[in-house]
Each structure stands twice: as structure tokens, then as C-alpha cells.
């Protein structure tokens, strides 16, 4: 991970030098101390090196011989773009007050991702911010779990989604969540509306009335 961080740092430095230069190249002078690493990233396809014609044009621009120059290759550019756009993982120490750290296995995360995809169609909506938390979740490889930091409302919403999953198939995800958090979901009973006596209740059997006896 540290090595990949250094790669991103170098790509960011090359990008910054490209912006500062009027010709969109990072030339040898500004990269001399990291030349070996630049060549390594070029071998990995993350940087492009100037060819002879480009070096000649850069030399004319700079007013001195430019022996080599580099710029971001498309994969290097996209790697930086993706890194900047990717939500930052929140560590346990950074959890905000009022939130709980929740660790979910892969099958549990699959349930939540399905819930997010159905969010606009659910009549019982997801708790505010839950969809963003699910999208921002990252796998903690030390515990081999996906880590989220959720409010009480979000936890209740997660329990609801696991109840839906349990009712239509597997109970393992809901049971694991209840075991880890102590939270479960049960639908609240719907209050019965008073029914006037004159309205028949169809599911009840009608008591047959005994016909009056006829005396002779």
C-alpha cells in the first residue's frame, strides 16, 4: 500500500509540473531526482516519455537541450482521477459521535447494495444518508469485513432490509446483524379499524340460525 501511495504521489507531481509548464510536459530538470521512478512508471504504462521530435520541440521552447520529458499516460491520468473521486475511508478513530462502527460480510453488503438500487421504489424509505454510507464503504482486509459508520436511524433501516431479505430467502445475514448489533426488525402490528356490525366479516363463519319449529 505504501508503494502505491508513492506511485500516486509521483503521478501527482508530474501532473502539477504539466500544469505549470506551457507545453504540458514535465521536463528533465524538475524530475531529475526521481528519474529512475519516472522510467519505472513509464514501463508500467502510467507515464509517457517524449520522443525525439517532441524533445526537439521542447528544447526550442525551453531554450536549452531537453534530454527527456514525461507526462501522464491515459491510465496514469485516470488513476489520479479515480483516486480523487473515490470516497475517503473513515477509520474507527474518525467515527463521528452518534455513529456506530458496523462490520458486514460480503453477502450482507450485497443486500444493502440491492436496497440502494431499490431506494426510489421502496415505500418505507432508507434512512437519510444510508445510501451514501453504503457506496462509501470499504473493505478492511485485516478483519475481512466491509466497514460502515451508521447512525441509529441508519442501523434500523439496515435491519429492515435484512428482514426483507430474510423473509424472501436467507436468514443468515439478518441473524449475523442481530448478533453483532443487537438490532432486529419486526413489523409493527397494524391497528384494526372498528367494523360496524352491519358489515359482514367474510373470513368468519356465520353461525347458522335454527329455523323456528312449527307446531301442528
Query: What is the CB neighbour count within 10 angstroms for residue 129?
Result: 13
Average of per-residue pLDDT across 126-133? 94
pLDDT for 203: 57
The residue ranking higher by pLDDT, 17 or 209, is 17
pLDDT band with cut points at 50, 70 and 90 for residue 198: low
pLDDT for 115-128, tens place per residue? 999 999 999 999 99
In sequence order, the β-bridge partners of residue 150 are 100
Q: Are 132 and 148 in contact (CB under 8 A)?
A: no
Cell numbers given for 188: 409493527
pLDDT for 46: 94
Cell numbers given for 44: 508500467
Distance CA 27, CA 129 (A): 45
57 CB-contact burial (10 Å; exposed 0-12 / middle 13-18 / buried 19+):
middle
Average of per-residue pLDDT across 132-157? 91
213 has pLDDT over 90 = no
pLDDT for 103-113, tens place per residue? 999 999 999 99
Query: What residues have CB less than 8 Å from 187, skipping those under 6 apart?
Result: 163
Amino acid at each position: 500500500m505504501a508503494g502505491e501511495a508513492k506511485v500516486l504521489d509521483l503521478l501527482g507531481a508530474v501532473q502539477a509540473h504539466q500544469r505549470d509548464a506551457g507545453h504540458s510536459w514535465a521536463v528533465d530538470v524538475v524530475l531529475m531526482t526521481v528519474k529512475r521512478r519516472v522510467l519505472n512508471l513509464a514501463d508500467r504504462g502510467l507515464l509517457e516519455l517524449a520522443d525525439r521530435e517532441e524533445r526537439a520541440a521542447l528544447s526550442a521552447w525551453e531554450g536549452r537541450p531537453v534530454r527527456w520529458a514525461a507526462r501522464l499516460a491515459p491510465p496514469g491520468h485516470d488513476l489520479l482521477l479515480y483516486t480523487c473521486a473515490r470516497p475517503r475511508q473513515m477509520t474507527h478513530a474518525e467515527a463521528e459521535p452518534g455513529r456506530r462502527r458496523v462490520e458486514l460480510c460480503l453477502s450482507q453488503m450485497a443486500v444493502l447494495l440491492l436496497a440502494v438500487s431499490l431506494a426510489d421504489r421502496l415505500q418505507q424509505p432508507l434512512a437519510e444518508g444510508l445510501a451514501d454510507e453504503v457506496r462509501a464503504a470499504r473493505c478492511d482486509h485485516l478483519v475481512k469485513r466491509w466497514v460502515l459508520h451508521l447512525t441509529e436511524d441508519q442501523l434500523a433501516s439496515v435491519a429492515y432490509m435484512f428482514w426483507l431479505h430474510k423473509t424472501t430467502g436467507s436468514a443468515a445475514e439478518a441473524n449475523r446483524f442481530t448478533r453483532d448489533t443487537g438490532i432486529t426488525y419486526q413489523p409493527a402490528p397494524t391497528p384494526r379499524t372498528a367494523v360496524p356490525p352491519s358489515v359482514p366479516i367474510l373470513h368468519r363463519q356465520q353461525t347458522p340460525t335454527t329455523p323456528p319449529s312449527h307446531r301442528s
